[in-house]
Amino acid sequence: MTDAADISPPGPFAAVILAAGKGTRMKSARHKVMHPIAGKPMLGHLMDELATLEPAKTVVVLGAGREEVEPFVEARGAVVAVQQEQLGTGHAVLQAREALAGFDGMVLACFGDVPMVRARTVALMLHRLQADEPACVVLGFRPDDPAAYGRIIADASGRIEKMVEYKDANDEERAVNLCNSGLIAAKAEDMFALLDRVGNDNAQGEYYLPDMVMVAQADGRHSAVIEAEDWEVAGINSRAELAAVERAWQDRKRAEVMADGASLVDPATVWFSHDTEIGRDVTIEPQARFGPGARIADGATIHAFSHIEGASVGPGCSVGPYARLRPGAVMEKGAKVGNFVEMKKAVLGEGAKASHLTYLGDATVGARANIGAGTITCNYDGFFKYQTEIGAGAFIGSNSALVAPVKIGDGAIVGAGSVVTKDVAADALALARGEQSAKPGWAQKFRDVMRKKKAKK
């Protein structure tokens, strides 16, 4: 979910994204920045948002487990720098120096595990960097609970007077609720020159990115702070924090969807993907789930407990309850799928219906066709997938099996319980089931025999 910037950067800038941490608190074989939020890796959220500002170059600093992340980064046109030793955030940014050799614009240093920062916020940081030429611009925020965050002491204009870690702050400084997010922007020449002078005389023996502010201050140069909303700078270091960012993202998406003209009956129970598209006058009932690639057109109704992924739902369609639309499913205008219907790589034509207990896979269904309960397209023989074609206005009786490849002509009728293995001509009736026979009185005789057997036991 991109919050489009209403402000552009004032000049060329490069983004340095720090993603070299091991992420041990995640307790996962997956790299931390590849854990998804709304179906997209958290690093992807940040990179895609920054891309809207058209950075001159993006450098992602990786370390342990970089083999998993490198293809993802390079597919987005970014450059990889490697931090062999984990010597702190300042040291990590320095690893991007070679990749930015010759670049004389602005540099933003940010974090792959702080994925929700908005493009607009970044643009404002860069504008402040140009406004009164501070050495650095720091991104601050005011959380409800400042807890143990480092504090930023600044005047009303945003000029930083002091930055102090919580453990080193006095009571007056701790009472300040302006906190340091860690994100910093500086001109390229300042970024690397200041970081070269940052020391590691601290408990961890690491080179910290924010210390460049104090180095600049010692030179008599000021730095500035601008503020972001606290959700923008929420960091993710654990599964619980991942879940919290996911919830916050979903809340914003739900509000956006409703503001754009859709109705969510119980918003907190509806979950979207990062690329879900919802039209106007759509009604979404409780417990609906949207995976990547879902497109819902105007006036559609998504009933409760339906799951839609990689599928397109046309205007005025009805889905569910308890329906599943898998990738490649397409419902054209006014089509309907009901409870316990599954579609995959299938097209349901305009006004066509599959009201209950049906599987449509690798199939095309013509306009106004009716698919009876319990119908399945038998599309797979264990080796290959095959197509089923059902014509316009065709009627498929309940509990039918259509063994692909097979074609049902326009207006044809397939009798209930049929197993269809051959093409059916237009307007024909197809019956493919065993002949029914009847034996008068047989049931009563059977019951009498069985009661006698049971009485003897």
Which of 32, 13, 19 has its CA nearest to residue 81?
A: 19
For strands 36-37 and 40-41, give the pairing. antiparallel
pLDDT at 452 over 80: yes
Helices and strands, number each (H, E), in the chain: 9, 33
Mean pLDDT, rounded, for 422-448: 94
Distance CA 364, CA 131 (A): 60
> pLDDT digit string (tens) for 135-165?
999 999 999 988 888 899 999 999 999 988 8
Question: What is the span of the domain harbouring residue 180?
Answer: 13-233
Which of 145, 113, 109, 106 has its CA nearest to residue 127?
A: 106
pLDDT at 3 over 80: no
Q: Is 371 left (phi over 0), alpha (psi -120 to 50) or beta?
A: beta
Mean pLDDT, rounded, for 4-17: 86
Asked whether residue 226 falls in the same domain as residue 303, the answer is no
Q: How confident is the model at residue 167 (pLDDT cuts 50, 70, 90)?
A: confident
pLDDT at 183 over 70: yes
Listed in sequence order, the residues at least 6 apart from 150 whose beta carbon sits closer than 8 Å to its beta carbon are: 163, 164, 165, 166, 179, 180, 210
> pLDDT digit string (tens) for 70-128?
999 999 999 999 999 989 999 999 999 999 999 999 999 999 999 999 999 999 999 99
Asked whether residue 244 falls in the same domain as residue 221, the answer is no
> pLDDT digit string (tens) for 338-351?
999 999 999 999 99
For strands 224-228 and 137-141, give the pairing. parallel
CATH number at 390 reads: 2.160.10.10
> pLDDT digit string (tens) for 405-419?
999 999 999 999 999
Asked whether residue 288 falls in the same domain as residue 171, the answer is no
Asked whether residue 387 falls in the same domain as residue 270, the answer is yes
- Residue 456, in any domain of the structure: no
- Residue 388, in any domain of the structure: yes
pLDDT at 45 over 60: yes
pLDDT at 196 over 70: yes
CATH number at 210 reads: 3.90.550.10
- Residue 387, in any domain of the structure: yes
Asked whether residue 177 falls in the same domain as residue 259, the answer is no
**What's the pLDDT at 6?**
67
User: Is-contact 281 301, C-beta < 8 A?
Assistant: no
Which of the listed residues 176, 201, 233 is the one where a domain comes to its end?
233
Give the predicted TM-score (pTM) of the model: 0.90
Q: Tokens in use for 32?
A: 């931390």
Asked whether residue 62 falls in the same domain as residue 146, the answer is yes
Residue with the two structure tokens 């120096």: 97
What does residue 304 show for φ and ψ, rounded to 5 degrees?
-60, 145
Tally the residues of the chain: 457
- Residue 448, in any domain of the structure: no
Please tell me which residue, 456 or 333, carries the higher pLDDT value.
333
Q: Tokens in use for 406?
A: 């097979």
Listed in sequence order, the residues at least 6 apart from 59 whose beta carbon sits closer than 8 Å to its beta carbon are: 14, 15, 16, 17, 78, 79, 80, 81, 96, 99, 100
Which of the listed residues 233, 265, 288 is the one where a domain comes to its end?
233
- Residue 208, in any domain of the structure: yes
- Residue 447, in any domain of the structure: no
> pLDDT digit string (tens) for 351-373?
999 999 999 999 999 999 999 99
Asked whether residue 82 falls in the same domain as residue 221, the answer is yes
- Residue 457, in any domain of the structure: no
**What's the pLDDT at 5?**
47
Residue type, 234: A
**What's the pLDDT at 1?**
43
- Residue 437, in any domain of the structure: no
Which of the listed residues 233, 260, 288 is the one where a domain comes to its end?
233
Asked whether residue 339 falls in the same domain as residue 269, the answer is yes
Question: Angle at Cα 283 formed by Cα 354 and Cα 36, nearest 5°?
Answer: 90
Measured CA to CA in angstroms, residue 122 lies from 54, 164, 226 at distances of 12, 23, 10
Buried (b) or exposed (e) across 83-101, using 16+ Cβ within 10 A?
A: beeebbbbbbbbbbbebbe
Q: How confident is the model at residue 132 (pLDDT cuts 50, 70, 90)?
A: confident
Asked whether residue 123 falls in the same domain as residue 247, the answer is no
Give the number of domains in the chain: 2
Mean pLDDT, rounded, for 434-445: 91
pLDDT at 55 over 60: yes
Q: Which residues are catalytic?
A: 356
Q: Tokens in use for 295?
A: 């497109």
Please tell me which residue, 132 or 114, carries the higher pLDDT value.
114
Asked whether residue 218 falls in the same domain as residue 276, the answer is no
Asked whether residue 17 falls in the same domain as residue 155, the answer is yes
Asked whether residue 146 falls in the same domain as residue 264, the answer is no
